[in-house]
C-alpha cells in the first residue's frame, strides 16, 4: 500500500490504550486548561486520526510562517497550511510556559470536555504584520468575507506549540457513526478489500450527476480498483448543506447507481478552510495518509467565491509532485451535453455552450425550495428528493 506522507508508517496521535487514556484524563483534571478554537479542535481530531501524519502536534511560529511562505516546515517537510493552536493572549493560563502540560478543551461539545493533552514547547505572540502575512500567503486574500480568513483572524494572536496526545474524536463518532472514519480505519478497509489503486473524491457538497460521472471517469482513467467518496463532516460556512443531508444523498446515489463493492463512503472530522489551492494540497496529503493512490482535483477545488482561478488548485501541484506519492487526476468542468447525451468533461467535448445544461447554485436552491424537480440530467431524482425535503423544511422554518 502507498506509504504515508513523510513517514514509513502512519502516526495517529489518538491514545488507544484505555488505561493510559484514563490516566491522561485524570491528569488533565489537574492541568491548566484552554478552550481551543473549533479549527484547533478539528486539527486535534485530524492529528488523532492519522490524517496529519507525520505531524506530532501544533506548530510553533517558525514552522507556521515557513509553511505559509513556502509550503514547507523549517525541516523541509511539505505542508501547505499552518496547523496551529491559536488563542487570544489573555486566554493563556497564568504560569504556563515551555515545559508545562495543558488540557485542551473542546468548544464543540457541551461541557467542553478534554479533547487532548498538550506539552507546551513554545508560547509566541504573532504581530499584526505576521498574522497578515500568513493570511495572505495561505488564503490569497485578507478579505473578512472569506470564511477561512475570518476564522483565522477571530482565533487570536498567540500560538501554543507542542506535541499532543488525543483523547477523543469530538462529536464526530457520535453524530456520524456510520461515516466518520480515521485514516487508520480507511487503510485497514482498503487492505481488507484488496484494493491496490484507489481514487479519492473530496466533497463538502451533495453529489450531482457531474460529480458522479467524474468519479467514474477518474476510476476508469487510472484503472482504480475502487473509489473513496470522502466527505468533510466539520464546520462549514453559512448556506452550505449540513453533513447529515449530504451523507444521506451520497449514500442513496451510491446504493442505486454504482456497482456493489466499488465505492467506500467515509467522512473526516475537519473544519473547511476554503483555502483553494493550499487546501487541495492538504486534501492530497490526508488522502495519501488514508491509503489512496489518486485524488480527483476538479474545477475550483476547495474554493469559495471568486478568490481563486478555476484551476489554481491543479497547477499548484506542478512544482511539488515529487514530494507526494499520491497522484492527481485533473478534472475539467463536467456538465451534461445534450448533443453527446451524456455527462462530459468540456475539454473532451466538441460541442459548445449551447449544448450544455448549466444550473447555478442559486437556481438549484430556488427550485428545490419550491418543490420543483431538478432535470434528471443534472441530478438523480432520488438525490434531488432528499435535497428538496431539506430545502423545503428550511423555507418553512425561515
- Mean per-residue pLDDT of the chain: 94
Cell of 44: 486535534
Q: Would you state the pLDDT for residue 133?
A: 97
368 pLDDT tier (thresholds 50, 70, 90): confident
Q: Which residues are catalytic?
A: 204-205
Cα–Cα distance for residue pair 120/130, rounded to 1 Å: 21
Q: Would you state the pLDDT for residue 380?
A: 92
pLDDT of residue 398 exceeding 60: no
Q: Which long-range contacts (CB under 8 A, 24 or more apart) does 381-385 make?
A: 382/252, 382/253, 382/256, 383/206, 383/207, 383/208, 383/249, 383/252, 383/253
Q: Would you state the pLDDT for residue 299?
A: 87
More confident residue, 303 or 60: 60
pLDDT of residue 397 exceeding 70: no
396 pLDDT tier (thresholds 50, 70, 90): low
Q: How far apart are the two ends of the chain, measured CA to CA in Å?
A: 49
Q: Would you state the pLDDT for residue 365?
A: 77
Cα–Cα distance for residue pair 168/15, rounded to 1 Å: 8
CB proximity list for 264: less than 8 A, separation 6 or greater = 186, 189, 190, 193, 226, 227, 228, 229
Cα–Cα distance for residue pair 273/10, rounded to 1 Å: 24
More confident residue, 278 or 238: 278
Q: pLDDT digit string (tens) for 138-181? A: 999 999 999 999 999 999 999 999 999 999 999 999 999 999 99
Q: What is the mean pLDDT of residues 331-343?
A: 90
Give CATH superfamily name and number for 182-397: HUPs (3.40.50.620)
CB proximity list for 240: less than 8 A, separation 6 or greater = 204, 205, 272
Where are the CATH 3.10.400.10 domain residues in the chain?
Answer: 18-173
Q: Where are the alpha helices (DSSP H) in the chain?
A: 18-28, 38-49, 61-70, 128-139, 147-155, 172-175, 183-193, 209-222, 243-257, 277-289, 312-315, 361-369, 381-397
If one looks up domain 18-173 in CATH, what number appears? 3.10.400.10
Where are the CATH 3.40.50.620 domain residues in the chain?
Answer: 182-397
pTM attached to this predicted model: 0.94
Amino acid at each position: 500500500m502507498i506509504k504515508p506522507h513523510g513517514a514509513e508508517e502512519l502516526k495517529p496521535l489518538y491514545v488507544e490504550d484505555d488505561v493510559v487514556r484514563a490516566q491522561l484524563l485524570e491528569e488533565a483534571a489537574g492541568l491548566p486548561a484552554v478552550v481551543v478554537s473549533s479549527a484547533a479542535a478539528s486539527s486535534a481530531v485530524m492529528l488523532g486520526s492519522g490524517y496529519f501524519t507525520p505531524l506530532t502536534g501544533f506548530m510553533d511560529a517558525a514552522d507556521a510562517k515557513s509553511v505559509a511562505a513556502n509550503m514547507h516546515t523549517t525541516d523541509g517537510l511539505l505542508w501547505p497550511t499552518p496547523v496551529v493552536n491559536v488563542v487570544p493572549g489573555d486566554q493563556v493560563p497564568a504560569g504556563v510556559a515551555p515545559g508545562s502540560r495543558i488540557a485542551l478543551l473542546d468548544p464543540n461539545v457541551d461541557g467542553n470536555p478534554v479533547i487532548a493533552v498538550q506539552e507546551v514547547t513554545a508560547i509566541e505572540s504573532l504581530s499584526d504584520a505576521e498574522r497578515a502575512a500568513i493570511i495572505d500567503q495561505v488564503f490569497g486574500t485578507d478579505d473578512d468575507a472569506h470564511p477561512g480568513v475570518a476564522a483565522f483572524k477571530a482565533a487570536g494572536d498567540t500560538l501554543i506549540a507542542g506535541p499532543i496526545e488525543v483523547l477523543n474524536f469530538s462529536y464526530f463518532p457520535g453524530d456520524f457513526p456510520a461515516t466518520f472514519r480515521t485514516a487508520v480505519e480507511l487503510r485497514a478497509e482498503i487492505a481488507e478489500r484488496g484494493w491496490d489503486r484507489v481514487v479519492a473524491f473530496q466533497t463538502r457538497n451533495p453529489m450531482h450527476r457531474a460529480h458522479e460521472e467524474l468519479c467514474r471517469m477518474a476510476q476508469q482513467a487510472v484503472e482504480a480498483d475502487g473509489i473513496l467518496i470522502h466527505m468533510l463532516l466539520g464546520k462549514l460556512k453559512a448556506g452550505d448543506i449540513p453533513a447529515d443531508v449530504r451523507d444521506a444523498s451520497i449514500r442513496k446515489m451510491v446504493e442505486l447507481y454504482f456497482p456493489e463493492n466499488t465505492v467506500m463512503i467515509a467522512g473526516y472530522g475537519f473544519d473547511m478552510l476554503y483555502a483553494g489551492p493550499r487546501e487541495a494540497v492538504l486534501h492530497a496529503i490526508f488522502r495519501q495518509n488514508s491509503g489512496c493512490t489518486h485524488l480527483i482535483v476538479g474545477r475550483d477545488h476547495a474554493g469559495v467565491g471568486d478568490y481563486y482561478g478555476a484551476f489554481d488548485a491543479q497547477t499548484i501541484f506542478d512544482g511539488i509532485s515529487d514530494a507526494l506519492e499520491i497522484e492527481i487526476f485533473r478534472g475539467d468542468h463536467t456538465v451534461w451535453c445534450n448533443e453527446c447525451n451524456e455527462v462530459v468533461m468540456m475539454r473532451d467535448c466538441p460541442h459548445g455552450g449551447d449544448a450544455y445544461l448549466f444550473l447555478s447554485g442559486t437556481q438549484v436552491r430556488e427550485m428545490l425550495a419550491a418543490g420543483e424537480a431538478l432535470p434528471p440530467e443534472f441530478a438523480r431524482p432520488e438525490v434531488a428528493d432528499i435535497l428538496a425535503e431539506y430545502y423545503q423544511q428550511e423555507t418553512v422554518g425561515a
